[in-house]
Chain A
Amino acid sequence: MTLAVGLCAMVLAVFFGLASAIGRKSENYFIRLLIETYTVVIRGVPELIIILLVYYGVPILVASVSKSLGYPVELNLNPFVAGFITIGFIYGAFAAEVFRGAFAAVATGEVEAAHSIGMNKKQTFLRVELPQALRYSLPGLANIWMVLIKATSLISVISLYELINNARIAVNNTSLSFTFYFAVSLIFLLITIISIWGQNKLENHNRRTGFEP
């Protein structure tokens, strides 16, 4: 269950990160302001508070807004959904930083070459910048994945059926608390080791052409 939430959240985080990185280039001042605020807020506020805020606050917000519109809507957030949306949202801000660096690392010569052929902005982006940026962003994203997987342990706070809660049940039954929590930590370590191995494989796959500009 930890892995399921982690994977969904990672996908969401990549989405938010890409959206933010693209949005930063926008000529519209308000979009850039929104994204800056997003990044600053997420970096300054603890994840726990954001999780609690979303899980408890959003249903209330939705209820009060829709009531004033005359259309009462009762929203009960499933902890799984609330959890992975929140974590994806939070780590999207970090992913935005990673993508910002990755886009900056794409050789500008290539972008100019694409313009000179006559590709418009959207085409250059899709065909030239995006693939290369994705290659450069992989180490940063792998880092985010590590932190993300550990953050999923926080969702146990909103009582999601999850690794830590299982340990808690075992503890309550047997009072061998240290053993079980230590086992939980070993499981997380295992996930970390597997992630490191996967990350190495991905990076080697990226280097396979042997051309490093």
Chain B
Amino acid sequence: MIEFFKNWIEVVNFPELMSGFKLTVELTIISLLIGFVLAVVLAIATESRYKIFNIPSKIFVFYFRGTPLLVQLFLIYFGSGQFRDELEAVGLWQYFREEYFCALLGLTLNTGAYTAEIFRKAIQNVSSDQIEAAKAIGMSRFNIFRRVVWPRAFRFSLPSYGNEAVFLMQATSLVSLITLIDLTQSARNVIKVNFAYFEVFVAAALIYLVFSSLIVFIFKRIEKYLPNI
């Protein structure tokens, strides 16, 4: 039994897998953070009275939720090549030709859209009596949002948000198709050398499992830490 494990660890080139894992973690964390900011902005914009905020953000959310992430990534990475001249004129081409930037952009926009839906439902779920009470005291709209609506909405959204974070981690494996070397791609690289499909993919799956459990654990701790409003 121990022999089996030793053999397995030798075959699976863990250091190389770990370097790919590092990229996965980076992508997940950065897209999560930027996506969070984007999602809050989008959630507010979708609920706004003014059509100029309302309509573009609704279209944005509908588009990014309705199309597969793979298509979105391809669109940004391969598709920007068609607009190379225009982008060069604006000076953005040097960013769009790098895979890292394209992957980050695609992941952030996608997770921003999904998270915006979560936040929107959470904001709607805040009971209106509290908001009316705040209005009666005379709080400005911004203050109402900051002190009454947002804490409750954030707490409400935490379970679904944790779920979405796990989906984000799973989605980072797609960037391997844009020639970025994340965990999935480094697993395939190891396999190109030693052809141990099963062992290496199982090892990669285990690493993903551990990471996703970590994410779930972190979100549960955040939930406990916040006061129960």
The interface of chain A, by Cβ under 8 A from chain B, is: 40-41, 43-50, 52-53, 56-57, 60-61, 146, 150-151, 153-154, 156-157, 164, 171, 175-179, 181-182, 184-185, 188-189, 192-193
Contacts and interface: CB of A to CB of B under 8 A. Distances in A.
Interface in B111-153: none
B91 interface: no
A197 to B, nearest CB: 13
B201 interface: yes
A43 B176 CA distance: 19
B66 interface: yes
B174 interface: yes
A185 B75 contact: yes
Contact of B197 (A60, A151, A157): A60
A185 B166 CA distance: 24
A146 B201 CA distance: 27
Given A47-B173, A150-B69, A188-B68, 5 more contacts: A48-B174, A53-B202, A146-B66, A175-B81, A189-B66
Contact of A49 (B69, B72, B173): B173
Contacts of B75: 178, 181-182, 185
B82 interface: yes
Contacts of B208: 44-46, 49
Contact of B63 (A40, A60, A181, A189): A189
B78 A157 contact: no
12 contacts: A46-B169, A48-B176, A53-B197, A57-B198, A153-B70, A177-B78, A178-B80, A178-B81, A178-B83, A181-B74, A181-B75, A185-B75
B222 interface: no
Residue of B71, B78, B170 with most chain A CB atoms under a 10 A cut-off: B71
Interface of B: 62-63, 66-72, 74-75, 78-83, 166, 169-174, 176-177, 184, 187-188, 191, 197-198, 201-202, 204-205, 208-209, 211-213
A188 B173 contact: no
| A contacts with B: majority SS | helix
B27 to A, nearest CB: 12
Given A43-B212, A46-B208, A182-B79, A52 B71 contact: no
B202 A48 contact: no
A157 to B, nearest CB: 6
B174 A49 contact: no
Nearest to B212: A44
Contacts of A56: 191, 197, 201
Residue of A47, A53, A181 with most chain B CB atoms under a 10 A cut-off: A181
Contacts of A157: 177
A43 B187 CA distance: 20
Residue of A57, A61, A193 with most chain B CB atoms under a 10 A cut-off: A57
Contact of B201 (A52, A164, A188): A52
Residue of A52, A189, A193 with most chain B CB atoms under a 10 A cut-off: A52
A70 to B, nearest CB: 21
Contacts of A192: 66-67
A157 B185 CA distance: 12
Contact of B67 (A45, A57, A150): A150
Contacts of B83: 178
A157 B174 CA distance: 10
Given A44-B213, A153-B71, A192-B66, A181 B78 contact: yes
Given A56-B197, A178-B75, A153 B68 contact: yes
